[in-house]
Chains A and B, each alone.
Chain A
């Protein structure tokens, strides 16, 4: 009955491929053709530009409160690009780069933050869950989807997204536990953007990394430079390949930084120093990837300008559709509550119609 050390596996890697100067370790870099690299860049740029536009529109009162993605484009786009269309995602609410990469129209972003359920009406054929606001609650839906894949013997996988704050939630724990116990093809992407609104990462958990949390659940955790789209993509591809072969879940901690506010309702100067933000701006994922692609000869001034213009047009068209939308029907709330409206709720709808008519908000 000696007291002895239990030998548990505890290897943890940190992956970085592309540095701040745009120099890549080509021995680690994923082998991507020019078109794929351009798509990757375009998705990141579109995320950045739409994000900027959203903040402007919020300030002008043209949409509601908005949660920006600035700084996290590599984590969102790099992970999403590792997926096939038959794979699924279960997102939180700061994954615009992922949704654009997965082919969601920009309109949905505008509609969601503009206060319309239309923004969460995921188009048919897109295997993505809608935005989920309660922190980390969506990770369990990812569990269920990955479980369904396993039961139905598919070789598809599911990614669920959360932030550093989400790792403190009970749902995250239960999701990790289920994913481990049932060996599910589920990848947890933790965008560690250093803050849960005001609460800093170091006060979120005493763990040195978020990646190591996977070890307690019996599966692999990996930490990557979340501002390095090549590292993010590469680590996600590895996790996806493993999951497709029945190798079970992986947690990937993307170490990144929320360069903007939590939402437009937030003032980050209350809880962080400007010089810290400046430091992280030097690590901007978009700038370093653009440098890399220029150095590689994949992009130049002209082609970047072409992409910028293309994105600008796409945003302008989406904004136009959003602002000219005429589908606002107050009765929609009744239309989608249940497949069939029961008589007692039907009676409430009648009452609502009468009230609207009385208020002159609906024609007789």
Chain B
């Protein structure tokens, strides 16, 4: 067992899989010599060489489009988008092709590849470096979208993503890259795509989130427990597409109340989907409306204003109190 941060955990997952499967190759901007701007791929060029750890020109569509072709040819590419804010230049390849090849060819060609990209606020970065647009991908049929929340599940999820027969958008909460360490086992492990995780259990309210917001939720759950004696189920969605409706419904059937939290805009966001699923499948159990604490439907501010803007545990605690009094 070693105690590592998320950067190391992702690096470890890549290295482990690359050692096992020579078809796994990495493409991205500054991922080789430089080890990636967040150092996720540090040391991999030395170990695997420039045919497998490929520094590309600055061309997101090129990276994703080429990876699609490589994948069809039998390689297992893992692409890095330097920031999710630049991945829109590849979005037409994702929507137009990556997500469609299996259907288009009735299974003759599938595209087993992973696109990793850092998202989210809280690192005092310039414009385009802090947004959360996971809903765009989750809205696109044919994609699997996952978001890790700890070093251990980051490693396990990335491994599972690299093993998946279909494309995975691997959305990395960059605020958590170096936020904390966690013990990880010596042997590689996988975590099933498509399953949510119950972080802690309580009977009074369900707090739902993913990525960096999971820490906000656990903090809120502690405060609610300490200050109000309110006990929360905290659910880490992990997989946004597909979404684990069953785990959500099970929890809300018990608690009758739910808050869903994310950094991305509210309108047509993941929270809207969660709320709709609860309305469809757990209405009889709901004692109060589902609340969404999210980014607002305005532009994510420049970083001087981001602290005020982002969802925090105080807002979750306040909303929980209101729902308990509803």
Contacts and interface: CB of A to CB of B under 8 A. Distances in A.
Contacts, number: 144
A141 B61 CA distance: 10
A327 to B, nearest CB: 10
A4 B296 CA distance: 57
Given A144-B73, A148-B70, 10 more contacts: A117-B106, A120-B106, A132-B97, A140-B61, A140-B65, A140-B68, A174-B57, A178-B62, A336-B106, A337-B142
A319 interface: no
Interface stretch (A73-81, A196-204, A292-300, A341-349): A341-349
Interface of B: 25, 51-52, 56-57, 59, 61-62, 64-75, 77, 89, 92-93, 96-97, 101-110, 141-142, 144, 165-166, 194, 242-246
Given A140-B68, A143-B66, A171-B65, A117 B59 contact: no
30 contacts: A90-B69, A120-B105, A120-B106, A134-B92, A134-B96, A137-B92, A137-B96, A140-B64, A140-B65, A142-B69, A143-B65, A144-B65, A144-B66, A144-B77, A145-B70, A147-B69, A148-B69, A148-B75, A151-B52, A177-B57, A178-B56, A178-B59, A333-B103, A337-B102, A337-B103, A337-B141, A339-B102, A339-B166, A343-B194, A344-B243
B109 A122 contact: yes
Counting chain A residues whose Cβ lies within 8 A of the other chain, the interface size class is: 35 or more
Nearest to B194: A342
Contact of A117 (B104, B110, B144): B104
Nearest to A131: B104
A122 B108 CA distance: 7
Nearest to B51: A151
B70 A343 contact: no
Contacts of A337: 102-103, 141-142
A151 B142 contact: no
B215 to A, nearest CB: 26
A260 B57 CA distance: 39
Interface of A: 88, 90, 117-118, 120-124, 129-130, 132, 134, 137, 139-149, 151-152, 170-171, 174-175, 177-178, 181, 332-333, 336-340, 342-345, 347
A144 B68 contact: yes
B49 to A, nearest CB: 11
B92 A141 contact: no
Contacts of A347: 245
A86 to B, nearest CB: 11
A142 B109 CA distance: 14
B251 to A, nearest CB: 16
A339 B66 contact: no
Nearest to B68: A141
A130 B109 contact: yes
Contacts of B166: 338-339
B104 A120 contact: yes
Contacts of A175: 62, 65-66
A177 B59 contact: yes
Contacts of A88: 73
A338 B142 contact: yes
A144 B70 contact: yes
Nearest 6 pairs of A and B residues by beta carbon: A144-B69, A140-B65, A148-B73, A342-B242, A174-B62, A141-B69
B165 A151 contact: no
Contacts of B73: 88, 144-145, 147-149, 152
Given A120-B105, A122-B109, A337-B103, A143 B69 contact: yes
B242 to A, nearest CB: 3
A343 B245 contact: yes
Contact of A174 (B51, B59, B142, B165): B59
